[in-house]
């Protein structure tokens, strides 16, 4: 059983939901990513989604686009991101790490090389934004053979047929995109989220984590009542952009956000 599956099994037994923060690797500087990951793990993160910076992040709003630009300005590459995960594993062998990004850097490295290096580094899951489940039949089984979960996005507009495909090839958890649009969008309709989460449950036994539009502890707590996991991205990346030149202030701000969300979810 993978780290991700074991985690969700334990959380279900404890009647708790997963808190899943997203940060862009290499932002604000490659030398700070490990410290940020360890801070997240120490302050309530159940899974860490580590974004692989890409020059054309089509699903991301301005906040994460700018994070990618900052990371790329320092030369952050997929190879460096894998090294970061390996470095994280030297001190933390428990917290699952999911790489989130786009297909181009993986194809540039070579899919077989990427999967091998991801396994060796200690990556637990891979979410490729522009790889739909219908086209993943040659990738997802190879990930599974190497103990890596293939995670897919499901949006409000996703058809039942595509949900079935995501269930067929996906493992670990399903990432439900709660809004039409990009990361960092403002309005979250909780009734709509609840109905779509239930629709996914009708097709899949995989845990469902909700992302996009979760900005504060109040929203995190509300979404936790509907799903198995809560994903926070832009709010966290915003803190990194604001306090990136002051590591101590950055650490305190990240701790405060994570602890407030964890408390709201547990309550």
Residue 9: CB atoms within 10 A of its CB come to 12
Quote the tokens at residue 133.
């489940």
Between CA 149 and CA 3 the distance in angstroms is: 10
Q: Which of 46, 49, 124, 149 is catalytic?
A: 49
User: What pairs with residue 21 in β-bridges?
Assistant: 232
Any catalytic annotation for residue 49? yes
Q: Give start and end residues of each alpha helix (H) in 122-211.
A: 140-145, 160-169, 190-201
What size, in residues, is the chain? 267
Decide: helix, strand or coil at residue 58.
coil
For this structure, is 60 an active site residue? Answer: yes
Q: Which of 27, 35, 56, 60 is flagged as catalytic?
A: 60
* List of residues 6+ apart from 49 with CB closer than 8 A: 20, 21, 22, 23, 98, 99, 100, 127, 231, 233
Please state the φ and ψ torsions of residue 45, each to the nearest 5 degrees: -70, 130
Cα angle 124-12-184, degrees, rounded to a multiple of 5? 60
Residues forming the active site: 49, 60
């Amino acid at each position: 059983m993978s780290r991700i599956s074991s985690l969700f099994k334990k959380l279900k037994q404890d009647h708790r939901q997963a808190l899943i923060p997203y940060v862009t690797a290499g932002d604000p500087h490659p030398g700070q990513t490990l410290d940020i990951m360890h801070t997240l793990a120490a302050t309530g993160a159940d899974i860490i989604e580590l974004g692989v910076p890409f020059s054309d992040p089509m699903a991301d709003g301005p906040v994460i686009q700018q994070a990618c630009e900052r990371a790329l300005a320092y030369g952050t590459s997929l190879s460096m991101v894998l090294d970061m995960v390996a470095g994280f594993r030297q001190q933390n062998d428990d917290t699952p790490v999911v790489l989130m990004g786009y297909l181009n850097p993986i194809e540039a490295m070579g899919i077989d090389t990427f999967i091998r290096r991801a396994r060796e580094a200690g990556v637990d899951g891979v979410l490729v934004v522009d790889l739909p489940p219908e086209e993943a039949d040659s990738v997802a089984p190879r990930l599974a053979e190497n103990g890596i979960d293939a995670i897919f996005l499901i949006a409000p507009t996703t058809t039942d047929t595509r949900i079935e495909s995501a269930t067929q090839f996906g493992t670990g958890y399903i990432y439900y995109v709660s809004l039409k649009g990009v990361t960092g969008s403002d309005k979250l309709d909780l009734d709509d989220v609840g109905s779509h989460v239930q629709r996914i449950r009708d097709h899949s036994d995989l845990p469902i984590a909700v992302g996009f539009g979760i900005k504060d502890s109040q929203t995190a707590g509300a979404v936790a009542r509907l799903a198995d996991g809560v994903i926070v991205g832009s709010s966290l990346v915003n803190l990194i952009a604001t306090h990136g030149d002051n590591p101590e202030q950055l650490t305190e701000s990240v701790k405060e956000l994570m602890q407030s969300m964890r408390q709201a979810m547990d309550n």
